[in-house]
Chains A and B, each alone.
Chain A
Amino acid sequence: EVQLLESGGGLVQPGGSLRLSCAASGFTLSNYAMSWVRQAPGKGLEWVSGFFYTPGGIHYADPVKGRFTISRDNSKNTLYLQMNTLRAEDTAVYYCAKAVVNYWYFDLWGRGTLVTVSS
């Protein structure tokens, strides 16, 4: 079965760090562009970061630029999001999403992992 499974969320203090993981099954993650999309409680969707499979194909939204890093381990078929210097406004469910070949719309989403930034 084709699926994505996120993990690594939790409660962290402002200024802290977390690393989210997204394990892919049923397909080879490295063959697709992948993104992280977040949703604050009761709010809409916000694209966070994208990893394209060509050199230089990494993008970040302005609110997370310089604080978050997206990466991929092909041997584990897993996507990561390293989140540093976390702020209260980063509190959200973080979804991992698979893009469709060369285009940045998403045909497969994980169930999400909740990140809460609070003291």
Chain B
Amino acid sequence: DIVVTQSPDSLAVSLGERATINCKSSQSVLYSSNNKNHLVWYQQKPGQPPKLLIYWASTRESGVPDRFSGSGSGTDFTLTISSLQAEDVAVYYCQQYYTTPYTFGQGTKLEIK
């Protein structure tokens, strides 16, 4: 199985500042046939289901604010929130969809400092 590990487990950032969350997979999720990284980011707020933010490691889902961006390739990925807003308080998960079982990171809890 591909193990997906996020860091840090929790993060406190001031409003308007940058937040960075890392995600590392135990093997590459770059698929040679399409040259795409099979890595996605979700946001989950309390009492709600996850919400798709970014797919193919760096493609923003429709309707997601452009302060959210994803980067990385192979085994190392980053979710960046360029200017933290109060509504961004949530737990963020990455997930690999390269191969079954489709594993998630353990989550990163983002709070306001």
Contacts and interface: CB of A to CB of B under 8 A. Distances in A.
A109 B107 contact: no
Contacts of A111: 48-49
Contacts of B51: 109
Contact of A45 (B50, B55, B61): B50
Interface stretch (A13-21, A66-74, A76-84, A100-108): A100-108
Interface residues of B, number: 23
B109 to A, nearest CB: 11
B106 interface: yes
Given A44-B93, A45-B93, A107 B52 contact: yes
A44 B102 CA distance: 13
B24 interface: no
Contact of B100 (A44, A46, A59, A105): A59
A51 interface: no
18 contacts: A44-B93, A45-B93, A45-B95, A45-B107, A46-B104, A47-B101, A47-B102, A50-B100, A59-B100, A95-B49, A103-B55, A103-B97, A104-B100, A105-B55, A105-B97, A106-B40, A106-B50, A111-B48
